[in-house]
Structure 1
Amino acid sequence: MDYSLYDTADFICNDAFVAWVKEGKDSDYWEQVIARYPAQREAMQQARAIIMAAAQLPAFQLKEKDEQDLWNDIQLLMDPKEAKPVTVSRFKVWYWAAALLCVAAGAALWWMRTEKAPAAYVRLLEEAHLEGNKRIEEINTAARPKTVSMPDGSSIILQPGARISYPATLDRNSKREVYLSGEAFFEVSRNTLQPFVVYANEMVINVLGTSFHVKAYEADSLIEVHVKTGKIAVSAKPLGTNVLANLSANQQAVLKRNTLSVAVLRHLPKVSTQKTDDVMSYSFEFDDAPVDSVMAAISQTYGVHIRYDKALLSGCRLTASLTDEPLYEKMRLICKALEAGCIIEGDEITLTAKGCHPNVIEN
């Protein structure tokens, strides 16, 4: 069975999946499915949560005519053209709940996928002449952050509801241009021959290699950029290329969209090293840290799943400064320090190591 195109609604409507969630049937098979289709992990988790919630619904009985009318209504919602009156036997309550959940989940997913793109974002794409076949678009329809890896090695953490587009092909001497709507954190791979430019509504951000957070929602009157490391130059459309502000680490600029004026906060407090879901707040400075804590910090911050032999690496420790690097450069350096192989597939990262001595590992 191919589950590569399955979404949350598909899993909810799959009888075998429901039986596994509710009764534990064929657990080995579904564990293999999870391992084989990592891209569907989130959809399976969402489907599982919905099924478990539906299983707690109180039991009730319907008259045969009510059952028949309800089923006809469900068919009409799912496919108005194909809906036909049918005669049905008495179903168990679960199947009615599952059918209704299929409709609800399917409708929600359809709405997220077809929601109209924000006007300012569309205008930027039109001005850049980036039609659908000339660009790659990533939209975070999940309820948690999503990490996107660009071809140049840069990583972008999209907050829920955010979307980005960038050219499908990049020449060696062309700019790396990203178009953003919503909120995102950028870790840019340094390349002096290819400046990295972010277009966020009216704000234009030019960088070489740095990390920064941008908040640019369609409905907001302000656009914010907060630099974590490195330096950026801020300008505004349609004022041309004149730089309005130069920012370095721990500085923030706020652009008023109606006047295109910029205010700069130049002495922000340094970001905390407290462990948190916000990548801006985590320093990734490790001093004789257990490998488990390093993996947990990266997994939590970037929303990726890291597979490794915990028993084999239990005595390994790491001393490293990984603040400036994009996600996958961080993982490359860690794997190099551990003398481990590293396979990256979407949000799944697998380490293969031989173990290490219980002392500090320097990268």
Structure 2
Amino acid sequence: MDYSAYDTADFVCDDSFVAWVKEGRDGAHWEQVIKQYPDKQEQILQARAIILAAAQLPPFQLKAQDQQQMWDQIRSQMDTTEAAPVKKSRFIYWYWAAAAVCIMAGAALWWMRPEKETAVVYTRLLKEAKLDGNKRIEEINEESTVRTVRLPDGSSVVLEPGARISYPVCATNNCKREVYLSGAAFFEVSRNTQQPFIVYANEMVINVLGTSFHVKAYDKDSLVQVYVKTGKIALSVQPLGSMVISNVSANQQAILQRNTLVVSVQLSEQHHIELQAPEATTYSFVFNDAPVDSVMSTIENAYGVHIAYDKVLLADCRLTASLTDEPLYEKIRLICRALEADCIIKGNDITLSAKGCHRY
């Protein structure tokens, strides 16, 4: 079908489009439409906002006061959409009137249908994930402090209390770098230009090569938030497929309104995500002739790990290094190389065996 002439009202009145927004049906078809018609992003987002606004009305009460409530919902959703960092065109009033008529005409039918899960959340994502014959591991932080998880590709994830992630493992250690997140976590991603790293956090899809960022994505929250510490990420949203909505650079944060799929990006010199941020997001890992004990304490406090080493033997050792962009375990590897030490890593316990240093 040719969607080149579609405007917002056309999408709202399209039964297949409405079914996709409300129930996720015909997802492959609409993802292909998005790819084929990238210039329709604005109309698709606005049509979705209208449909979801109508869906928030009580069932079987489309009287005069309810029609006014519908218009209030639509205006509210469109006010939010207008705040998105995308150039918006002006729409003629009758477009919205036509859209509302289509919604009201089919409202009763939709509300008579059994409710299905429409929110894109962790459990639903896992059910729909393609394993490609590989196993998937789930890590859950059931403790009251942060917990660091090492991924097969060398990337590290600092999980806040209650957070969980799922990721694939395979015999060749060449699995897709795809992580599913519920809760809040800080990611430090190993750079690999041949295989991007993807985080699925509710409706937000985060695509990176090598960088560090913090994500807050709880199932019941109305927002998904991401703060980029270093590097750059590309954001897309579900169910809009792989269409990039925003690029977010270091010291910027992005906020996704889950009910409208609108993403706003703003500069943030400080970490403004409203939660107890993992310490790894705030510590500096630039060391200039620093005592080893100071370096180890910084890493332990930042990542919630325990590093065992002979403090007396390494008392004279000092390090000069910039380890800002490296994941935790790459930091440890580089430190061990500098100290000519052997390292053993078992979960959050790290043991260093070194000969010591002498200062003259």
Q: Structure 1 length as normaliser, TM-score?
A: 0.62
Identity %: 68
Q: Assess if the C-alpha contact under 8 Å between 1:174 and 1:194 holds in 2.
A: no
Q: Report the equivalent of 2:268.
A: 268
Q: Could you tell me which amino acid in structure 2 is paired with residue 143 of structure 1?
A: S
Q: 2 CA distance for matches of 1:157 and 1:222?
A: 20
- SS where residue 121 of structure 2 aligns? helix
Q: 1 CA distance for matches of 2:290 and 2:250?
A: 25
Q: Assess if the C-alpha contact under 8 Å between 2:160 and 2:278 holds in 1.
A: no
Question: Structure 2, unaligned stretches of length 5 or more?
Answer: 1-118
Alignment of 1:1-363 (within 5 A): 120-130=121-131, 134-169=135-170, 175-265=176-266, 267-269=267-269, 278-358=279-359
Distance 1:262 1:312, change over 3 A: same
Distance 1:195 1:131, change over 3 A: closer
Q: 1 CA distance for matches of 2:328 and 2:174?
A: 24
Instruction: Deviation per CA, 1:42-80: give whole Å up to 9, x if none.
Output: xxxxxxxxxxxxxxxxxxxxxxxxxxxxxxxxxxxxxxx
- SS where residue 332 of structure 1 aligns? helix
Question: How much has 1:358 moved relative to structure 2?
Answer: 3.1
Larger RCO (CA within 8 A; separation ≥ 6): 2
Question: Structure 1, unaligned stretches of length 5 or more?
Answer: 1-117
- SS where residue 337 of structure 1 aligns? helix
- SS where residue 349 of structure 1 aligns? strand
Q: Quick check: 325-334 or 163-172, which moved more?
A: 163-172
Distance 1:300 1:277, change over 3 A: farther
Distance 1:350 1:197, change over 3 A: same
Distance 1:253 1:132, change over 3 A: same
Q: Structure 2 length as normaliser, TM-score?
A: 0.63
- SS where residue 233 of structure 2 aligns? strand
Distance 1:283 1:199, change over 3 A: same
Instruction: Deviation per CA, 1:241-285: give whole Å up to 9, x if none.
Output: 1111101111110000000000001x321679xxx9611111211
Q: Could you tell me which amino acid in structure 1 is paired with residue 303 of structure 2?
A: Y
Q: Could you tell me which amino acid in structure 2 is paired with residue 344 of structure 1?
A: I
Q: Assess if the C-alpha contact under 8 Å between 2:316 and 2:359 holds in 1.
A: yes
Question: How much has 1:133 moved relative to structure 2?
Answer: 7.8
Q: Could you tell me which amino acid in structure 2 is paired with residue 236 of structure 1?
A: V
Instruction: Deviation per CA, 1:203-246: give whole Å up to 9, x if none.
Output: 00000111100000111100001011111001100011111110
Question: How much has 1:168 moved relative to structure 2?
Answer: 2.6
Distance 1:193 1:277, change over 3 A: closer
Q: Could you tell me which amino acid in structure 1 is paired with residue 300 of structure 2?
A: S
Q: 1 CA distance for matches of 2:178 and 2:279?
A: 24
Question: How much has 1:129 moved relative to structure 2?
Answer: 3.9
Question: How much has 1:330 moved relative to structure 2?
Answer: 0.1
Instruction: Deviation per CA, 1:104-142: give whole Å up to 9, x if none.
Output: xxxxxxxxxxxxxx9811110111145998311001111
Q: 2 CA distance for matches of 1:258 and 1:277?
A: 27
Question: How much has 1:304 moved relative to structure 2?
Answer: 1.0
Q: Could you tell me which amino acid in structure 2 is paired with residue 268 of structure 1?
A: S
- SS where residue 137 of structure 1 aligns? strand
Q: Could you tell me which amino acid in structure 2 is paired with residue 323 of structure 1?
A: T
Distance 1:337 1:172, change over 3 A: closer
- SS where residue 138 of structure 2 aligns? strand
